[in-house]
């Protein structure tokens, strides 16, 4: 997906957030986009690349970063995962309190074996997450994530257009922030530390 389409989708997503997010007083000041109080993005029912059924409650006590993509993504997904990995490296010991979840939007190709090789290649703690087609669509809707599979070429290869924000939950399991390619690693690290301090 070209940069112009990505920016248009992100702009639309920001408008949607503004319309759907309840305003609640919070003590923290964030550098990323604050979506505290959103009535969506409440939970998920997915399977990790080890075969374990997972929901948000499984990661209680940690800050969770949930990002959507697919392993054949040519640019945006690798860039995002690299930035998330860099952030965890910068956090040092505090990174033990953060869990990154890479949710595939292409479950037909992104099998558990593929995800097990892909996600931890960026950082050993990253978990690849998958579900069947219907659950994948339902999860994407819950998080307001647009995606669309493009027609395959003559060799059978296809791409998946999708949005790129990552969603951050605090250690109590509340959706708080989203991180996009326009945000820096330093901004992410700063806000993760704020979330961990509670």
Does residue 41 contact residue 167 with C-beta atoms inside 8 Å?
yes
pLDDT for the residue numbered 19? 45
Per residue, what are the HEC states of 101-122?
EEEECCCCCCCHHHHHHHHHHH
Q: Which residues of the chain have pLDDT under 50?
A: 2-9, 11-23, 25-26
- Please report the pLDDT score of residue 163 as a whole number: 87
User: Domain 3-149+159-197 is of which CATH architecture?
Assistant: 3-Layer(aba) Sandwich (3.40)
The tens digit of pLDDT for each residue in 5-44 reads 444 445 444 444 444 444 454 456 899 999 999 999 999 9
Integer Cα distance of 195 and 178 in angstroms: 13
- What is the per-residue pLDDT for 164? 77
Tens digit of pLDDT for each residue in 56-66?
999 999 999 99
Q: In sequence order, what are the residues at sequence separation of 6 or more whose Cβ sits closer than 8 angstroms to the Cβ of residue 71? A: 77, 104, 106, 109, 110, 114, 115, 118
pLDDT at residue 28, as a whole number: 66
Please give the pLDDT value at position 198. 81
User: Are 187 and 85 contacting, i.e. CB atoms less than 8 angstroms apart?
Assistant: no
What is the model's pTM? 0.86
Which is nearest to 128 in space by CA: 51, 196, 19, 182?
51
């Amino acid at each position: 997906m070209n940069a112009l389409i990505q920016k248009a989708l992100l702009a639309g997503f920001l408008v949607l957030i503004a319309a759907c997010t309840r305003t609640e007083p919070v003590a923290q000041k964030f550098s990323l986009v604050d979506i505290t109080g959103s009535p969506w993005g409440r939970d998920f029912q997915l399977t990790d690349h080890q075969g374990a059924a997972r929901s948000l409650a499984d990661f209680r006590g940690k800050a969770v970063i949930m990002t959507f993509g697919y392993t054949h993504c040519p640019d945006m997904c690798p860039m995002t995962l690299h930035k998330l990995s860099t952030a965890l490296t910068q956090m040092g010991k505090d990174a033990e309190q953060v869990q990154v979840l890479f949710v595939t939007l292409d479950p037909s190709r992104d099998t558990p074996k593929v995800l097990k090789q892909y996600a931890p290649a960026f950082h050993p703690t990253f978990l690849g997450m998958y579900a069947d087609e219907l659950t994948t669509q339902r999860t994407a809707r819950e998080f307001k994530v647009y995606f669309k599979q493009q027609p395959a070429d003559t060799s059978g290869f296809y791409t998946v257009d999708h949005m790129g924000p990552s969603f951050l939950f605090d250690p109590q399991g509340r959706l708080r922030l989203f991180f996009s390619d326009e945000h820096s690693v330093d901004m992410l690290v700063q806000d993760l530390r704020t979330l961990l301090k509670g």
